[in-house]
Structure 1
Amino acid sequence: MIKSVIHIGITVSDLEKSVAFYRDVLGLKYLGSMTMQGKETDLLFNQQNCVVKVAYLNGSDELNAPPIELLQFVSPSCKIDRATLTKTSISEVCFAVEDIEQSYQRLKAQNVEFLSEPQFFDFSADGFGKSKAVYFKDPDGIILELLQEVE
């Protein structure tokens, strides 16, 4: 039934601020934006007089992953909630990196908030291999992850 994942949507409070973070801080490629409104938008989001600004970003031309879709609800306005890994929701979006220590230091220097320093995991016995991972937050406090596969 499902053919593929088309995009990963994240609701944000300020589209321009979030685009700047995902583009300028994380280095994703800005693909474009649009505004959704009208009868079909109202029906799709189950709202009245709904206006949503949307932007798309992706890691690179050769990235074999769905783009990130950022959505800002202009009307009705977005309810800001504190993100946490321990409540039912999409817990995080994970980005693969070649050098997690370098990425961590670069983002830390740009005042990105991290939950910890990068941590090493060995799940070889479970068939998943070795990796280093770290969680951090975007401007709305949405939790994201960096992951480096380790040989």
Structure 2
Amino acid sequence: MPLQTGHIGLNVTDLARSIAFYQQIFGLEVLGQSDADGQRFAFLGNPDVASEVFLDKLAITLWEQSAGAFSTRTPGLHHLAFHVDSVDEVERLRTAVTQAGAEVLYDGEIIPHSDAFSSGGFFFLDPDGVRLEVCAPDGVPTEAAVAGATPSCGFFD
């Protein structure tokens, strides 16, 4: 089997707030959770996955063990990208993000990945400042690329 990306583990400052955010934006469901003191976490999964295998459904694990905000200037995670099938789905999720009051980047515009590819999406922050992207494989006009041939998702203002 070829290597594939598995679930994502995120440190969060407020478990309940982060669960609500990821449920509201992405429609994830809680697969398991602990509220034990010092061991607060939640497994969030995709309800659209037909498999009953836990790791097939698992999308994000939230660990309440952080303070402060996500750092964009230290080594580590740059951003998380979530792929959808179409620009229409990108626009639907952008509306959900805006209605949730999340901070959007690039004024919420759908940005092509570069001036050479019609894939692209929009960027926003989760409650702890983690940069997120929702993108489609094509259908985004390339003239709005923010970094020319360099991937837009790699460089933020």
Runs ≥4 in structure 1, deviation > 6 angstroms?
none
Contact 2:25 2:93 in 1 (8 A): no
More helix by share: 2
**Separation in structure 1 between the aligned mates of residue 6 and residue 83 of structure 2, nearest angstrom:** 18
Report the residue type matching 2:119 in the other structure.
Answer: S
The DSSP-based 3-state class of the residue aligned with 1:87 is: coil
**Residue identity opposite 2:69 in structure 1:** D
8 Å Cα contact 1:15/1:71 also seen in 2: yes
Say if 2:108 is the partner of 1:120.
no
Residue 132 and residue 6 in structure 1: after superposition, are their counterparts in 2 closer, same or farther (change >3 A)? closer
TM-score for the superposition, normalised by structure 1:
0.70
Is 2:79 aligned against 1:92?
A: yes
Provide the residue aligned with 1:16 in structure 2: 16
Deviations 1:32-88 (A, max 9, x none): 112578xxxxxxxxxxxxx22110112334286752000002xxxx2313432x531
1:102 aligns with 2:92: yes
Paired residues, number: 128
1:16-35 correspondence to structure 2 within 5 Å? 16-34=16-34
In our comparison, the structure showing a higher alpha carbon Rg is 1
Greater shift in the superposed pair: 133-142 or 100-109? 100-109
How do 1:127-142 and structure 2 match up within 5 A? Answer: 130-142=118-130
Structure 2 unmatched runs, 5+: 51-55, 140-157
Q: How high is the sequence identity, in percent, across the aligned residues?
A: 27
Compute the TM-score of the two structures, normalised by the length of structure 2: 0.67
User: What amino acid sits opposite 1:113 in the alignment?
Assistant: E
CA RMSD of aligned residues (A): 2.8
The alpha-carbon deviation at position 147 of structure 1 amounts to 1.0
Q: Which residue of 1 aligns with 2:47?
A: 60
- Residue type of the alignment partner of 1:10: L
Q: Give the letter for the 1:121 counterpart.
A: H
More strand by share: 1
| Distance change (3 Å), C-alpha of 1:52 and 1:5 | farther
Cα offset, 1:118, TM superposition:
1.3
